[in-house]
């Protein structure tokens, strides 16, 4: 009979993957290095994740779950501006607390190795799509794809997070200016 899998080992593998992917990039972080950093045998890594691609997809799902948990008190009934601002602020808060995760998420999205179910809309994407549709109607961007607007929102948020990381003294102004740019692009005001 096989031993039950340990949540502690699984988490250690995922945490090690984040560290190494952030340091080296996905392509330059072999499973042997991930298992070594996690303090487990490479065979143990493959007990939890059959392939490196499975590890990548599970890591992405876990990071998205964490984002959803951060949004647990989302103001569903607020106006579109307040909802977008809520997502903006929470995204930047997470990026400041977990800069390596942001870097790894960017790599994972651009890797071409994520499965469709890993990229399926989560609560944040669903609400951003809804808010983008509403905002576009108000601002006259109804012809723009909501998916495009979400990508634009995320790109601006990621650029703002990177700028803040390099210029902490401009944190408050950067957060405000970044959101104003997103809002103006969406609403045209």
1-50 shares its CATH topology with 53-187? no
Q: Under CATH, to which class is 53-187 assigned?
A: mainly alpha
Of 67-81, 127-141, 157-171, highest mean pLDDT: 157-171
CATH of 1-50, one of 1.10.10.60, 3.40.50.450, 3.30.70.20, 3.30.465.10: 1.10.10.60
Residue 144 pLDDT more than 80? no
Q: What is the pLDDT of residue 175?
A: 97
- pLDDT (tens digit per residue) in 38-62: 999 999 999 999 999 999 999 999 9
Strands (E), the chain: none
CA-to-CA separations, 116 to 112, 113, 121, 151, 160, in angstroms, rounded: 10, 10, 10, 17, 28
Residue 176: CB atoms within 10 Å:
11
Residue 168: CB atoms within 10 Å:
9
Helix axes 99-110, 7-24, angle to 10 degrees: 80
Helix axes 31-38, 7-24, angle to 10 degrees: 120
Residue 129 pLDDT more than 90? no
Query: Where do the structural domains in the chain lie, given as residue ranges?
Result: 1-50, 53-187
By C-alpha distance, which of 30, 37, 38, 36 is closest to 56?
A: 30
């Amino acid at each position: 009979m096989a031993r039950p899998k340990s949540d502690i080992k699984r988490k250690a593998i995922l945490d090690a993957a984040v560290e190494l992917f952030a340091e080296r990039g996905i392509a330059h972080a072999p499973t042997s290095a991930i298992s070594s950093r996690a303090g487990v045998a490479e065979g143990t890594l493959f007990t939890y994740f059959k392939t490196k691609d499975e590890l990548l997809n599970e890591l992405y799902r876990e990071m998205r779950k964490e984002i959803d948990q951060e949004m647990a008190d989302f103001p569903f009934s607020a106006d579109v501006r307040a909802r977008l601002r809520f997502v903006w602020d929470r995204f930047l808060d997470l990026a400041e607390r977990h800069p390596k995760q942001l870097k790894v998420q960017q790599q994972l999205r651009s890797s071409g190795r994520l499965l469709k179910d890993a990229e399926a809309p989560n609560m944040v994407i669903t609400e951003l799509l809804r808010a983008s549709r509403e905002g576009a109607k108000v601002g006259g961007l109804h012809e723009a794809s909501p998916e495009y607007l979400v990508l634009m929102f995320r790109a601006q948020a990621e650029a703002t997070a990177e700028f803040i990381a390099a210029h902490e003294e401009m944190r408050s102004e950067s957060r405000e200016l970044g959101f104003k740019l997103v809002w103006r692009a969406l609403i045209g005001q």
